[in-house]
Structure 1
């Protein structure tokens, strides 16, 4: 038994509650999400995935490992989106975002990025791979934005206003991400020229 306190103060078993009552996920403003995602070259998705799964585990008591789901996030993105949609359906909150299609497109984009890196590995392909990865990161970001809006809707904070301010660690990660991307761009164009 994994007891929790209900709104009226009574204890309830978390595992016996339906998905809609336990789908408290990681609410964040879309602007903050986009900046963190873009300025870390997509690296933010690991943290984002971890926070979503950790929140889900905490509320539901599900026997999952959020760290593993974060590290291998492309394999769990459909499951996460399914949890979001189930929660929206059960709470009667409607949000039109095509979770299955969106999840499959994200998986396809990740697979395409891996294939581009594997098959275009000659020094003359460096600029192509760099540009392709920038396009793929931007495309994935667009896919994640609607997912974040759905999560925010499910969390009862459509604007994500409770998590819109940037923390010191957010700023540090964005600076590290920009420096890393600048270094990679420098190397790409230095060896290409």
Structure 2
């Protein structure tokens, strides 16, 4: 203990105290395996945008970094490497053992996204059919699996490997999934009706 009354107070500060963050909050968005897969696949991948937004919003609240979570959620292809690298740093900082090749996983996400977008555009113009019709489905499955690999690392980094703190589906979750499935059903009905006519 310093007995000098003129010396500045001595306190133990962590990094988040300097950055204006909240050290008690989780660093990323924790989700259980079942909930992640249901939300990703039953919203036809639209959950992707929300998932990125939530991760960046929680990361900003924890670290105090000056970032725009909404923009990073809307354009994940430009920020996926940065998010995955942040998760990797968190794992290493917490000395948690989990193999997470963030650079390779980020590259898979970007390449798959570009291939899927390109094939959708080609399919709209009837170029390369039927391959350009089916490749986006494989891309969709790949994107979901890629994000799930990142989610596993996030859950471990946040000391919740099974994602138990966010495993229950809310009414909003059911609404998003039900709404998406309703749109799909109506679209299929319209296609079948059009063919029948």
Larger Rg: 2
CA contact (8 A) 1:40 1:178 kept: yes
3-state SS of paired residue (2:28): coil
TM-score by length of 1: 0.83
Which residue of the other structure, out of 174, 177, 182, is the alignment partner of 1:174?
177
- Return the offset for 1:180: 2.5
Tell me how far 1:14 sits from its aligned partner: 3.0
Residues 189 and 144 of structure 1: CA distance in aligned 2, closer, same or farther (over 3 Å):
farther
Q: Which has the higher contact order (CA 8 A, sep 6+)?
A: 1
Normalising by the residue count of structure 2, what TM-score does the alignment of the two structures yield?
0.82
SS of the residue corresponding to residue 79 of structure 2 reads: helix
More helix by share: 1
Q: Are the counterparts in 1 of residues 60 and 67 from structure 2 also a CA contact under 8 Å?
A: yes
Q: Is the 8 A contact 2:29 2:58 kept in 1?
A: yes
State the match for 1:121 in structure 2: 124
Q: Which structure 1 segments of 5+ residues have no match?
A: 1-7
State the number of aligned residues: 185
Runs of at least 5 residues in structure 2 that lack an aligned partner in the other structure: 1-10
Determine the C-alpha separation between the residues in 1 that align with 2:141 and 2:20: 37
Of 87, 92, 95 in structure 2, the residue corresponding to residue 92 of structure 1 is 95
Query: Partners in 2 of 1:12 and 1:84 — Cα distance?
Result: 16
SS at match of 1:153: helix
